[in-house]
Chain A
Amino acid sequence: MFMKYLSLLFALILMASCSTQSGEKSNTNEKKGVVNVYSQRHYNSDNKLLEKFTAQTGVKVNLVNAGADELINRLEMEGASSPADVFITVDAARLNRAKNKGLFQSITLKNAANLKAQFLDTDGLWFPITYRARVIVYDIEDVDPTKISTYADLAKPEWKDQVVIRSSGSSYNQSLLASIIEASGEEAAGNWVKGIVANMARDPKGGDRDQIKAIASGVGEVSIVNTYYLGLLLNSSNPEEVAVGQKVGVIFPNQQQGGTHVNVSGAAVTKAAPNKENAIKLLEFLTSEESQKFYAANSFEYPAHKNVSADSTVATFGEFIAADLGFAKDMSLTEKAVLIFDEGGWK
């Protein structure tokens, strides 16, 4: 009896190894070489672009997706023996964290002049690809949007018990608070946190979509969410979710105060890159007008290219001025933000 199951087990192992054989055609394109990518961006749009890159250049792309900090730690530990050539993440502060750890090398990117200057790294160690805006959404039935023009407005007493927002553990909220600290100082940031906490309709929980659903449910009337998730929600395969997305309006805050807070995705060539030339090729490709148009149409993000504008659902939210990335120069403001959140009782 036991043997019977043992042999069944081995049959399964055989099956398993056979079925994966087809997936391991690595290093077949030796002539043109490979480029190894550590990326936080696990999106279908990125995968399609990487396929296009291979089709155009013959360079095979090897990809690992994981969280930004895990990948930074891995790069750091691997040091000179790291296989990675390109590092991609969705957060400028994380890019600078890796940059300050000396994990990148400086390269000359021909396309750099075509990218929005406000997002360019001053030392040319990493390059922006796309960005997303952290906007205020409101219940279109109950809220007069002219009453809100800044993030600070949401901390006013008139929004008591009306704010739904995700937890302070969200890196988007941490970046936002870091930018507030940079613009107005720690004290103002602390007061803003206390004001928002006092206005919360419920304890922070869930993702950005869940906040919009809470507005639809009548739990609260206003929230701060990322345009990317709102874009996804409005294109959900669940028609009820699309309906939820249509119940809210979008405000781009701080248009008179330096611009709306944005999260920038960017790419860098790693210091130990064994395939540096291919890495640069990939960065040129991702920042080219053609790829940027692809992002604009397919990823619910804003392209970093000067001459390309958004071409998806997010374009319908309108034009806006984006704030610069001063808050992200290093992680110290983000770290301060975490502590201010904790002190202010933002869960």
Chain B
Amino acid sequence: MIGSFLLIGPLAMVLTKTVGINFQNISTLSNTVLPSYIANTLWISGGVIVLSLFLGVSCAWAVTMYQFPFRKQLEWLLILPLAIPSFINGIAYAGLTDYAGPIRIALRATPLLNDVYIDIMNAWGAIFVMSLVLYPYVYLTSRSAFANQSSQLLEASKLLGASELQSFYKVAFPLAWPAIFSGLSLVIMEVLNDYGTVKYFGIPTFTTGIFKSWLSLGDMPSAIFLAFILLSLVVIILSIEWWITRKRITSNSSFSRRIQKEKLVGPKKYIVLAFIFGVLIFAFIVPLFQLLWWLNLSFHNTDWSKFLIIIGNTLKLSLYSSILIIVLGVFMAYAFRIIKKQKLISSLSKLSSLGYAMPGAVVAIGIIATILLINSELIYAGIYALLFGYTVRFFAVGYNPIVAGFKKNSSSLDDAAVTLGLTRLDSLFRVHLPLIKRSLLVSLILIFVDISKELPITLILRPFNFNTLSTNAYQFATDEMAPESSAASLLIILVGVIPIYILNRSMRSK
């Protein structure tokens, strides 16, 4: 309960900032640009949902169902694009294709093609660039769902004459949907409050409206009002999903055989390999190549001496907050499991994951307001404000996989544990946690990587003289010095890649 209030508190504080709202600005906005902003938002988020769902689910299906060369390596390489901030991916792709980028340089040297003009900075490009870094959310959650599914159900569906494709979308996909959706909901929230990429690509979205009201019109109440409209949209999406799946039966994995991977041969093998390599190349290799090329250009005027401290700061923040969120998330999810009949409490738990649906800059305002309410001295006393901010913002990222993990443990497990004389706490540590280990690790990766990329909250809530990799990358990126920002961008990716690798190994070795 207290946990929920701590998480909702800042959002409620933000809400109080709408006092004295001036509807004049909002009505002018809605009469002129807001409709087109909403259309852009729907178009871009729709596109990203479809593309990241397609990429994430099909890659997850391939690596769990089939055996093919390099499967083990590809399985974790496919998570890596998560480590690239979407704004950086946008800059990298724009830099790759603009006049001073390698593609155009090469084309200029080619007869007939020397006048080709490539433009990635449009809505299609934004969908492409964002899906490539967001699909891993779907990939991770659906992969662990597919891996835990019972092979008996799939065999049964095949025996009943269903083709592989039919078994997939009639049996496996619906069974995995709650997990897939928990990843997808992160994608949705991430797209809805993206500001950096769409601003750079020149596509005004609903978030543009929020920042226009706040920054240009100096009208924070209207901005926050609009942010809450966005939030309501997310609540509606989440509620509809929850309502549809509320009666869904979950298959209990504990007592069934694991899936036997089908060894791929012939053309099918090459098609699957080509697809996965294609995804990897566009989502990771290409932006990485562009950043490395920039690093090569800017190497001599990069100040490397400060990076040790900056990396330390980034690691510290990401680690502390991800552990904080996981501990809080486990206890909250478990508490709500025990007292599941109390509707109010369970909706509280849903509310507390809404921080992710808010633009980070707005969350930061709520954090400052809350801290000032508690004790104004705390605001510049180290990194506590930041940890608080990250917890509010990223709670959903950790909480959803944890809840999905708990859901798979049948309630008969609790009953058995109690019958065998275990206390509730014992059964959490000895029964549930070992069973949801995989979900916890997924949470940890997601939060860690998300926080190491985070920008708006870090910028405004950090203590004096405190830099992280993302603030360092931002410093150069806002000055349109893309080559100089590449060192920090690459380090953000590196900081994300290492835990992804370690944790992925631990997920496999059981």
Contacts and interface: CB of A to CB of B under 8 A. Distances in A.
Contact of B480 (A16, A64, A219, A232): A232
Contacts, number: 187
A70 B301 contact: no
Contacts of A232: 479-481
B99 A17 contact: no
A69 interface: yes
Contacts of A209: 480
A5 B440 CA distance: 12
Contact of B294 (A17, A63, A78, A238): A238
A216 B104 CA distance: 12
B340 interface: no
Interface string A1-32: 11001001100110111111011001000000
Nearest to B208: A169
Given A42-B475, A217-B117, A237-B298, 15 more contacts: A2-B434, A62-B465, A63-B464, A66-B459, A73-B220, A83-B379, A83-B380, A169-B204, A174-B216, A205-B200, A209-B480, A210-B98, A232-B481, A240-B101, A244-B99
A205 B316 contact: no
Contacts of B216: 169, 171, 174, 334-335, 338
A23 B204 CA distance: 39
Nearest to A339: B28
3 nearest interchain CB pairs? A205-B202, A19-B312, A62-B464
A238 B115 contact: no
B376 interface: yes
B471 A77 contact: no
Given A205-B200, A236-B483, A15 B218 contact: no
Contacts of B28: 339, 342
A44 B460 CA distance: 19
Interface in A92-133: 97
Given A74-B368, A218-B115, A236-B483, A338 B309 contact: no
Interface of B: 28-29, 32-33, 94, 98-101, 104-105, 115, 117, 119, 121-122, 199-204, 208, 211-212, 214-218, 220, 294, 297-298, 300-301, 303, 308-309, 311-313, 315-316, 319-320, 323, 361, 364-365, 368-369, 372, 376-377, 379-380, 434, 437, 459-460, 462-466, 471, 475, 478-481, 483-484, 502-503, 506, 509-510
A218 B510 CA distance: 59
A65 B479 contact: no
A53 interface: no
B202 A167 contact: yes
Nearest to B369: A77
A20 B313 contact: yes
A133 B505 CA distance: 55
A10 B204 CA distance: 43
Interface of A: 1-2, 5, 8-9, 12-13, 15-20, 22-23, 26, 36, 42-44, 62-67, 69-71, 73-74, 77-78, 81, 83, 97, 166-167, 169, 171, 174, 202-210, 213-214, 216-219, 229, 232-233, 236-238, 240-241, 243-244, 331, 334-335, 338-339, 342-343, 347
B381 to A, nearest CB: 10
A215 to B, nearest CB: 9
The winner among A5, A18, A44, A237 for most chain B CB atoms within 10 A is A237
B25 to A, nearest CB: 8
A343 B31 CA distance: 9
Interface of B is mostly: helix
Contacts of A23: 309, 312-313, 465-466
A77 B483 CA distance: 37
B99 A65 contact: no
Contact of B510 (A1, A36, A83): A1
B202 A206 contact: yes
21 contacts: A2-B434, A13-B319, A16-B312, A16-B316, A17-B316, A64-B466, A65-B459, A66-B460, A69-B214, A78-B376, A167-B204, A171-B216, A174-B216, A206-B121, A207-B480, A214-B99, A238-B294, A243-B100, A331-B218, A335-B217, A342-B33
A238 B94 contact: no
Contacts of B503: 5
A342 B32 CA distance: 6
A233 B220 CA distance: 35
A233 B94 CA distance: 16
A2 to B, nearest CB: 6
Given A19-B308, A206-B94, A216-B99, A81 B376 contact: yes
Contacts of B311: 19
B72 to A, nearest CB: 18
A13 B471 CA distance: 21
Contacts of A208: 480
Nearest to B462: A64
